């Protein structure tokens, strides 16, 4: 099966992570219900995935449902989870054919059993694919991610299999939900907001940040190209001498 990812260009980031913001405001400004904004946002996801594959990005993470989203109104939460269920049932095979591997990160046990089964099926179907890895952050919070990793290490210390002084950054990173995935090179947020909003806090320590003044439903392949162009012009310092992206 074709990998679905173009040959790697060194000026292209290995991992792009996106905070998809603005669905609600997009809908309100058009006098539409929130659900219309989320549906339009799902169409933008398809454009983004297509652009990432065409540009040869190996890893793409999309912030689809934050842990804070549970506090929204019951109807909107229901709309979001129903939309997720629809795409799991009707769009996963299309991604599978293209060689995309799906991973879901976050407090997945907060979803009902039937939706968790859908998530597991999608991961199982695409597990052996060798194309782009698409991570969807669902019921995800960066602080919670760090806490659950720390708890894992704490249990090892309590069991006597790990000394506290032996804990390293790499060890903690290996127990994050993103284990095995390179840290993002660039984190993008749409809608004109300038916050990380509890997204990949540990992993984004040295990521380039790009903020776009466009609502997520209006995000196009052209916006994705803009992100890559901005990234290619940045000098990545990592706290020391500059390292060119290109």
Is residue 115 within 8 A of residue 84, CB to CB? The reply is yes
3-state SS, 119-161, equals HHHHHHHHCCCCCCEEEEEEEECHHHHHHHHHHHHHHHHHHCC
Catalytic residue of the set 9, 69, 112, 198? 69
Place of tokens 């952050």: 137
84 is in an annotated binding site: no
2 is in an annotated binding site: no
99 is in an annotated binding site: no
127 is in an annotated binding site: no
107 is in an annotated binding site: no
72 is in an annotated binding site: yes
**In which element (H, E) is residue 244 found?**
strand 243-244
174 is in an annotated binding site: no
**233-238: long-range contacts (C-beta < 8 A, 24 or more apart)?**
234/208, 236/185, 236/206, 236/208, 238/206
21 is in an annotated binding site: yes
Catalytic residue of the set 21, 79, 145, 183? 21
196 is in an annotated binding site: yes
Is residue 227 within 8 A of residue 51, CB to CB? The reply is no
| DSSP 8-state secondary structure symbol assigned to residue 110 | G
Q: How many angstroms separate the CA atoms of 19 and 44, rounded? A: 12
Whether 69 is a known active-site residue: answer yes
22 is in an annotated binding site: yes
**Numbered residues of the known binding site for Mg(2+):** 21, 208
Residue positions in the annotated binding site for substrate? 22-26, 38, 66-68, 70, 72, 189, 195-197
| Catalytic residue annotation | 21, 69
């Amino acid at each position: 099966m074709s990998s679905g990812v173009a040959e790697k260009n060194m000026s292209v980031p290995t991992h792009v992570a996106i905070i998809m913001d603005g669905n609600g405001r997009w809908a309100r400004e058009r006098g539409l219900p929130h659900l219309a904004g989320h549906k339009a946002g799902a169409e933008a996801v398809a454009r983004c995935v297509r652009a990432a594959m065409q540009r040869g990005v190996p890893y793409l993470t999309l912030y689809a449902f934050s842990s804070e989203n549970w506090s929204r109104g019951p109807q909107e939460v229901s709309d979001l989870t129903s939309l997720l269920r629809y795409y799991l049932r009707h769009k996963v095979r299309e991604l599978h054919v293209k060689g995309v591997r799906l991973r879901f990160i976050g407090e997945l046990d907060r979803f009902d059993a039937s939706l968790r089964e859908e998530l597991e099926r999608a991961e199982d179907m695409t597990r052996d694919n060798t194309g782009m890895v698409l991570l969807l952050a669902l019921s995800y919070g960066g602080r919670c991610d760090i806490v659950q990793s720390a708890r894992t290490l704490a249990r090892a210390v309590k069991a006597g299999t790990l000394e506290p002084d032996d804990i390293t950054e790499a060890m903690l990173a290996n127990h994050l939900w993103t284990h095995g995935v390179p840290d993002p090179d660039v984190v993008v947020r749409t809608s004109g907001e300038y916050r990380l909003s509890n997204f990949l806090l540990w992993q984004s320590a040295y990521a380039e940040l790009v903020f776009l003044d466009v609502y997520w439903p209006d995000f196009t392949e052209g916006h994705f190209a803009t992100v890559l162009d901005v990234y290619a012009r940045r000098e990545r310092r990592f706290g020391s001498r500059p390292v060119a992206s290109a």
